[in-house]
Amino acid sequence: NAGVTQTPKFRVLKTGQSMTLLCAQDMNHEYMYWYRQDPGMGLRLIHYSVGEGTTAKGEVPDGYNVSRLKKQNFLLGLESAAPSQTSVYFCASRTGQTNQPQHFGDGTRLSIL
């Protein structure tokens, strides 16, 4: 049971570099989410998707872009990385049914130097 898989697990970037974080789920979930988690703060929603081909902005979308070309994948892109984007990024997914939990991946630890 893979569940939600995030790649890579760790990455160090230089300011201005770009990269894409990949999230894959094998549970046929409709909804997918990208969060960031910083010390002393709760999880904050970056972008989310309620279905293939659709995306929407969350609480802190600036500096990030996303795509959901396939139902099972949700990509998070950083076009020009900044030190403020140093964080742990979590992907989650869930079904469209009411009161169902989000299933989280184990995170990508990203450092921007």
* Positions 46 through 105 that interact with another protein (CB under 8 A): 48, 58-59, 90, 92, 99, 101-102, 104-105
Can residue 26 be called a binding residue for another protein (CB under 8 A)? no
Question: In the chain, count of helices (H) and strands (E)?
Answer: 0, 11
Q: How far apart are CA 28 and CA 71, in angstroms?
A: 7
Among 11, 17, 30, 43, binds another protein (CB under 8 A): 43
Mapped onto helix, strand or coil, the DSSP state of residue 85 is helix
Interface residues toward another protein, by CB under 8 A: 4, 40-45, 48, 58-59, 90, 92, 99, 101-102, 104-107
